Amino acid sequence: MAASAHRTAVPRPLLGGAGSPDERIARVLPGLGLRERKKLKTRMTIRAATYRLVGEQGWEATTVEQIAELAEVSPSTVFRYFPTKEDIVLTDEFDPVLEEQLRSRPADEDPLDSLLAVFREGMAAFADSEGEAVVQRTALLLNVPAVRARMTETMAETSRVLIRAVADRSGLPPDDLKLRIFTAAVLGALREALVVWAEGGHERELMDLVDEAFGVLRDGPGMSAPSRA
């Protein structure tokens, strides 16, 4: 497929995100130390450069060297923060925050309610800070096979993080089958909510789709068997 087929239009500020990187970081992660803020700012700068270049010339035509030049860092710095080009799109700055928030939820809260609350808060914060990035990420996820393939790998690590956190809260061992199925179902629901959002041109509210996806996990799909003649 030609590179032009993988171009993504530079989107409008869908969910806010006004201000400099420093201001957005302070708004989303106010307790972050100076060292970690600098690292996060570098990651955001690299990602912004990537999205700009991809929007102008397509995914395949965009090289790490070009990204580094636009971000005013060395290619080795890009690879230090992101092992692959796909990771620039897929890596979340706020995964550790989500894990910490999950561990801080009430001990007697339903696990699905805890995860919904944490994901809603985390995704809303990320969308407010990096709304344009969320739009471009999902567009690339739909259009670039390499990004979709890498997402499967990165979700495996996210799954391990969630399994540890939920296991600690529930008292179940991390290798418990029910726990692993539950975690996989939650991540699958989130992934499909993002895909449906992107396929619909980002017209619906993302958090409405997330709520709907979690509702399916809780109540089932609400489908009846076809009648037999």
27-60, pLDDT tens digit by residue? 555 555 677 778 888 988 998 899 999 989 999 9
Length of the chain: 229
pLDDT value at residue 205:
86
The domains of the chain are located at: 30-84, 92-219
CATH class of the domain comprising 30-84: mainly alpha
Non-local (6+) Cβ contacts of 110 within 8 A are none
C-alpha torsion angle, residues 56, 13, 99, 73 (rounded to 10)? 40
What is the rounded average pLDDT for all residues in the chain? Answer: 79
Average pLDDT over residues 53-82: 96
53 touches 70 (CB < 8 A): yes
**Residue 74 pLDDT > 90, yes or no?**
yes
Burial of 123 (0-12, 13-18, 19+ CB in 10 A): buried
Write down the CATH superfamily of domain 92-219.
Answer: Tetracycline Repressor, domain 2 (1.10.357.10)
**Residue 227 pLDDT > 70, yes or no?**
no
182 touches 111 (CB < 8 A): yes
**Residue 70 pLDDT > 60, yes or no?**
yes
DSSP one-letter code for 5: G
Please give the span between the terminal C-alpha atoms of the chain, in angstroms, as a whole number. 46
pLDDT value at residue 130:
58
pLDDT value at residue 182:
92
pTM here? 0.70
- From CA 217, how far away is CA 124, in angstroms rounded? 21
C-alpha torsion angle, residues 1, 5, 89, 113 (rounded to 10)? -100
> CA angle, 84 as apex, 180 and 174 as ends, to 5°?
15
pLDDT value at residue 14:
29
